[in-house]
Amino acid sequence: MIAATNLRLGIDLGGTKIEGAVLGRSGEITARRRIAAPQGDYRATVDAVASLAEGLQREAGAPCTIGLGMPGSISPRTGRVQNANSTWLNGTAFHRDLEARLGNNLATSSGTSFDGAVRFANDANCFALSEATDGAGAGAHTVFGVILGTGCGGGIVIDGRLVDGPRGIGGEWGHNPLPWPTVDELQIDPCWCGRRGCLETWLSGPAVAADHRRVTGKVLTCEAIAESAANGDPLSQATLARHADRVARALATVINLIDPDVIVIGGGLSALPHLYDEVPRLTAPSVFADKPAVDIRPPRWGDASGVRGAAWLWD
């Protein structure tokens, strides 16, 4: 049976890239590949994920369990994708279609067995699971994993287990509203989900760039703003200060709700120093406790956490 194998294959389906890796018995990566993600094409996405899994299984040369991290989640009610910012996935039977494709092709193409089962989870959940299993949050009772990148998401792990919930939305953080908004923050374009004020429209990389453009009139990427701030530009420094304040308010609501031992930040923004230098201090006024200090850490595994967490879905 494939569930008894010592090899775990994890796939991280992102908006611009798909990455896969095979983990050995002790969590070491024995094979790893990255390909471009198809844009706006559901069938091409299924084919790309399946081809990547098939290639990695051939390279592993032995049966692998398969876990997949994805934007959005699989609805327990319908079995279809919900809440994905890769909107061409929404409403599809992605789980069933991918399993059918792999079940039809994997055994014959790789010469190894496949029992047809793929475990799916939200990509932020996979990040949180990776960092709680053997990453920056290893050994902690409760870990909240944060994704700040192209989008904004979260995942909760308690005693090494994901908190997913009966609707498949456990840890869904990015589409809650920004807490305690100022008057200026009430004027914001709608999120892709149709609501206004979502954390994703304030905390993600594109949101930082949009905020800088609204305030300064200058069009810069988030990366360019961070570089400019490091070089002493006061306008860019002010943009990152606003971002730190918003991240702090958003995390304070999580702290008040689940009181995590550790918060780990991942995604493309996770290397920005202000998230660790300023945000812990800024959360304090909004944390409802006499000891408001919070432990916020960068990830151990960086951009490998997505595939590692997907692989650990079979732990």
* Torsion angle of C-alpha atoms 198, 201, 204, 210, degrees rounded to 10: -170
Query: Where do the domains of the chain lie?
Result: 2-124+305-314, 138-299
The predicted structure's pLDDT at residue 104: 64
Residue 111: the pLDDT is 46
Which pLDDT value is given to residue 108?
42
The answer to whether 153 and 122 have CB atoms below 8 angstroms apart is yes
What value does the mean pLDDT of the chain take? 92
**What is the reported pLDDT for 109?**
45
Largest Cα–Cα distance in the chain? 62
- Is-same-fold flag (2-124+305-314; 138-299)? yes
Q: What pTM value is reported for the model? A: 0.91
Residue 117, pLDDT score: 86
DSSP secondary structure of 201-215:
HHHSHHHHHHHHHHH
Q: Which fold has domain 138-299?
A: Nucleotidyltransferase; domain 5 (3.30.420)
Superfamily of 2-124+305-314 according to CATH = ATPase, nucleotide binding domain (3.30.420.40)
Ranges of the chain with pLDDT below 70: 1-5, 104-116
